[in-house]
Amino acid sequence: MEFSIYTITNTPRLYILMSKHFSRTNFTTMSRFVLIFIIGVATLAVSSARPEDRLVNADVAEYGRYPYMVSLRVGTSFSHTCGAALVTPEHCVTAAHCVANNVPEAVDPSARFVVTGHLSNVFGGRVTQLSEVRIHPEYNPSNTWENDIAVLKLATPIPYTATEQPIPIATADVDVQDCDISGWGRHHMPSNTLPSQLQSGVMATMTRDTCIQYWASSMIFNSTLCVGGVRGNGVCSGDSGGPLVCNGELAGVVSWGNPCANGLPDGFARVYAFRDWVNENIADLSDLGRFYAAEAAASRPSRA
């Protein structure tokens, strides 16, 4: 199955940044794809420059199978811009680049809202405003988007329903395995059309050593989870910030990719690496968050 995600790009700047990180053997491959990164989305003009993202060749999601899936939207346009995952009734996790300006500074939360409990990208679902945005303090949009993760505080809690339920944050790191992915990203690039229904599929994770056979090691951090690497199976424009779920837990957040599903691995924020930071911010943002953070701490396996 294919997938893809999305992002705004500034091609000359992107070319310079990526050329610094590509190995000599990978640079020719990168130069063949760089023109594809020109594609942008008007409603995300505040987002940082980055590669493309979306789910390619996916299936229409089964109703109620992804109750944690969230659509992040902007202003009055009601247009889907990024995915996110509901991790408590009051908090979501998404990519930092979805809610940041070109510096590690959060946008005004009043300019963002989420829609939950829906499959359609056109109508339906529960609309909830954001009250606060927390971006990882070491998020670096100018350096391969390291620490690309953010926590969103909702203005009102989401009640549990058949189609609205949180997903646990990863309690252990993931191995090489198949994981579930979902999103409203484009099916191919170039395209100005998002799918009308939530798309879903399966993508396999890989080791860092395998990933740096495709990308330079300076691009792949310990907090980067590489996924895919099979032509026709990847993320694309509109999938950014969306969840990768392994073993029933939130293991990854879509960060960057080579548009779209061109056979190179996609980069995700490795949620387990940010587990403590996510829980600390959830706890700091609300009483309910403190309860969930305490539950998460109690469930974490003890270290030998």
pLDDT tens track for 86-117: 999 999 999 999 999 767 777 889 888 999 99
Q: State residue 59's pLDDT score.
A: 67
Domains and CATH numbers, the chain: 66-167+273-297 (2.40.10.10)
Tell me the pLDDT tens digit for each residue of 240-267: 999 999 999 999 999 998 778 788 999 9
> What is residue 6's predicted lDDT score, i.e. its pLDDT?
33
Query: Would you say residue 147 has pLDDT above 60?
Result: yes
Statement: residue 275 has pLDDT above 70: yes
Q: Which residues are catalytic?
A: 97, 148, 240
- The yes-or-no verdict on residue 4 having pLDDT over 60 is no
Vertex 243 angle, CA 163 and 263, to 5°? 130
How far is residue 225's CA from residue 222's CA, in Å, rounded to a whole number? 8
CB burial of 259-297 (b: ≥16 within 10 Å; e: otherwise) equals: bbbbebbbbbbbbbbbbebbbebbbebbeebeebbeebe
32 pLDDT exceeds 60?
no
More confident residue, 270 or 59: 270
Q: Which residues contact 47 (CB under 8 A, 6 or more apart)?
A: 7, 8, 81, 97, 98, 100
Neighbours of 60 (CB within 10 A): 12
Question: pTM for the full model?
Answer: 0.79
Q: What is the pLDDT of residue 1?
A: 36
Of the candidate ranges 124-138, 181-195, 239-253, the one whose mean pLDDT is the lowest: 181-195
